[in-house]
Amino acid sequence: MLDDISVIRPIVIGRINRIGFCTLYWREVMRFVKIIGQTVAAAVVTTWLFLTVFSLALGVRVQSGIGVDLVGFLAPGLVMMGVLQNAFANSSTSLVVSKVQGNIVDLLMPPLGSYEVFFAIVAAAMTRGVLVALVASMTLVFFDVRLIPLSPLLAVMFLLLSTAIMGVLGLIAGIWAEKFDSLATISNFVVMPLVFLSGTFYTIDRLPESFRLLAWVNPVFYMIDGFRYAMMGLASASWLVGAGVLVATLLVLSAVALAMLRTGYRLKA
């Protein structure tokens, strides 16, 4: 009789490569978890520093002008600021590092479609952003600030929409940038101005008319304003309008990112 011979069965990949998606997602998550001190912890410390500076310079009980303590008003915006910057950084640096190190082929050769790559990288960016939000919110008790949302569902909705948008924007930036200098240009001249001019430290009714118009067309304004409304019940715009703007922004950016992935723009030599 013939000896039993083990037969290696080929792995059948359907329309959705679930194994590939989960593997890529896990790789992207572990990439920032391994240096969690530089990723999550650094963002939390930055939030602490902002609150400390404002507390020492203006006083903890200084009113923001809308009937709440300034530190309490700043806290949701500062948390969201760290969330947005980290979600953008996670997806953008992933691709740029692969390009610089020359191992971008590891992303192109496996049987992964553009949708699997897109959702895995964006989901990992969202994971990092949500983790930053949770850790920063819990540690704000040291400043006598307790971020307990008045509307948990709205808080989760704006948090997920915001991290998804910045994750997709980071993906686009990472595809476009050939090196870290190009990525730094986008971070310094696009992302940072959008974040700092979004009402993080003030209400937009204090801005001059021309700058106020810029705020109304700034998607980051609706991210921070909607999150602050979910946390404190304070908003400069309707949360419905903000949610609509964010959904539309996410759809447009996602279409651009998927088109870049499908064509291999600046990914395939």
Q: What is the pLDDT of residues 29-59, one digit of tens each?
A: 999 999 999 899 999 999 888 888 877 776 5
Q: Which domain holds residue 171?
A: 18-263
On whether residue 13 sits in a domain, the answer given is: no
Residue type, position 96, single letter: V
On whether residue 5 sits in a domain, the answer given is: no
Q: How many domains does the chain have?
A: 1
The closest alpha carbon to 141, from 53, 36, 51, belongs to 51
Task: Look up tokens 């924007």; give the residue.
Answer: 169
Provide the 3-class DSSP secondary structure of residue 63: strand
Q: What's the pTM? A: 0.89
The string of pLDDT tens digits covering residues 93-138 is 999 999 998 888 888 888 888 999 999 999 999 999 999 999 999 9
CA 36 to chain centre: 16
On whether residue 54 sits in a domain, the answer given is: yes
